[in-house]
Structures are given as C-alpha cells and as structure tokens.
Amino acid sequence: MPYLLLCIGCIFLIIGVIGLFSPSISNLDLRGVQMLFEHRSFALNHVAVLFSRLGGMPFLLVLTSFFCIHQIRKKNYKKVIFVALSVIGSIVIGWLLKWGIDRPRPLEFYHLIQSYGASFPSAHSLYAATLANMFMLLYSAHKYRNSIILVSTLWFVFMGISRVYAGVHYPTDVLAGWGIGLIWTSLLWFWLYQSNFSNNLFLDNKSKLRWNNDVG
C-alpha cells in the first residue's frame, strides 16, 4: 500500500505543479471554482464551513496530540514519532511552499470563508491527506482496514473539494496538497518501518526489540 499511495501522491503533485505554468490548466482551475460557485446551496455552504473548521491546523494538532498521548501510554513510540514527524513536516512544508511560491488565491468575490496565506498548496488538503495516509498506513493490517481506508479517503477527498467549493483554492492547489501529504507520510513510513537505519537509531538492544515489534 505505501508504494501505491506514494505513486498516487506523485501524480497529484505533478498535475498540481503543471497547473502553475500551463495557461490551459489555469483556465480549467478557474472554471472549476466558478462551476462550484454557481452550484452553491445553503446546506452545502454550512458543510463547507464545517470542513474548513475541522481541517485547519488547530484541529489537526489537537487530534494527533491526543493520539500520541494514547500511544505513549501504550509505549508505541514508533507510532508517536511517525505521527509527530508527519504532522510537523506537513505544516512546515506546506507553509514554506506557500511563502515561496506565493500564488494568489481566487478572487475574494468567490470566497465563502476567510482565508490566510497564499493559495498553493492547499494546507487543509495537505493536512487531510497527511492524516488520512497516517491512519491508512498505521492500520493497514487492522481487521477493519477496508473501512479505515474508505473513511480516510473520503475525508481527504471531500476536504479538498470543500476548499474549491468555498472559493479559496484552485483544484491544482488541492491536488498539490494531497500529493505532498501522501508523499511525505509515505516516505516517513519507509524510513521508520522499513529502514535498518531507523531501527538502529539511538536504541539499545531492549529498546530495539520493543521498537521493531511496534507495527500495524
């Protein structure tokens, strides 16, 4: 699964980056924002606002902090490191790219909600993909893995669509956010769970045994 998610992430990111330089894709970007703007409804507006609140950095930090505290109590230290690095890395990468690329958002006329920072990539989409990929990878061997994959996928897909619907992002911003989240967490997974280097990092023999048993 991590290889598949990594490949999907690369495809998303490539399409998103091409959108920065291709006039034809930029036109499709704008048409996507306009199309969803024209199909707004009272109920969907409330859903988009809810997704905006749930998908931001505060919710991500609170949710993953509770998860890490629970895993620390269970001495699942590898999961804690994986989640912590995934979240911190996603935040740093996302905002560095926003600052460096500085792509303007769609016109304020389309904005359903207040937004901050530049448009590319979509931070909400990045956080959603990071969160979804973390749970898909951590619980890939769980008996309810199919349900976890379904819920995780729906979470980041609808989060991305809601950002375009709210008029604060272009579709390529969302694709880039998804791509970065999937790529970053997949690479971390390979390093922590499939790398001999990580298994030997700062660990004595007793800790290595507990570290290597912390899977799934």
Return the domain boundaries, the chain.
Answer: 2-194
**122: pLDDT strictly greater than 80:** yes
User: CA-to-CA distance for 123 and 22, rounded, in angstroms?
Assistant: 22
Classify domain 2-194 at the CATH topology level.
Vanadium-containing Chloroperoxidase; domain 1 (1.20.144)
Residue type, 5: L
Residue 79 C-beta-side C-alpha neighbours within 13 Å: 25
- pTM, to two decimals: 0.88
Residue-wise pLDDT for 192-209, tens only, equals 887 665 555 545 444 554
Residue 188, token pair as written in the block: 């971390």
Check if the beta carbon of residue 81 is closer than 8 Å to that of residue 193. no
Per-residue pLDDT averaged across 137-157, rounded? Answer: 92
pLDDT score recorded for residue 205:
47
Residue-wise pLDDT for 75-94, tens only, equals 888 899 999 999 999 999 99
